[in-house]
Amino acid sequence: MGSEETATFAGGCFWCMVHPFDELPGVHQVVSGYTGGRTENPTYEEVCAHTTGHREAVQIRFDPTMISYRQLLEIFWRQIDPTDGGGQFYDRGPSYQTAIFYHSLEQKRLAEESRQALDQSGRFNRPIVTEILPAGPFYPAEPYHQDYYKLRPQHYRRYRAGSGRDRFIAQHWDDPRA
């Protein structure tokens, strides 16, 4: 195994953030969890009640010689509505707000550059509100949340479609003019 780095992204429901990264060459592991809050070892119920300050997020261990942090950022942006400060799609509230949690000053620089480029691209008619924050403690979610797209594939697909995420992605990213 080569070198390893960590990336942490909050993109709304963590179920929907695992699959896009999970099987990429160079990605060693994608864990659903909670970060950015003030409570140690929060539960799903506590996070959803918006009492801990945490966001649902994924933490990705990757080999930067096989896939770059810049590539992971590009994938991240294509999974979310970066103009929605109130949550993501069907899921509302602070635990579903988007953020990039950086683990180094280089990650911070790359995240800021990518956010600025996306904001200036004209792809969206509202400003980008995704925050870029220092990484802190990350708490893995309960086992039944890990690899949810594999454990309950039919429910996962219905959830993605019903939440509006798939429609948004198709509208903003699958556009041949993009």
- Specify the length of the chain in residues: 178
13 is known as an active-site residue: yes
Q: CA 10 to CA 14: how far, in whole Å?
A: 7
Instruction: Measure the CA angle with vertex 146, ends 40 and 10; round to 5°.
Output: 60
Phi and psi angles of residue 21, each rounded to the nearest 5 degrees, phi first: -105, -25
59 within 8 A of 8, measured Cβ to Cβ: yes
Exactly one of 7, 13, 58, 118 is catalytic; name it.
Answer: 13
In angstroms, how far is CA 131 from the centroid of its own chain?
Answer: 12
124 within 8 A of 172, measured Cβ to Cβ: yes
Q: How many CB atoms lie within 10 A of CB 36?
A: 24
Phi and psi angles of residue 113, each rounded to the nearest 5 degrees, phi first: -60, -45
Q: How many CB atoms lie within 10 A of CB 9?
A: 28
Q: Enumerate the active-site residues.
A: 13
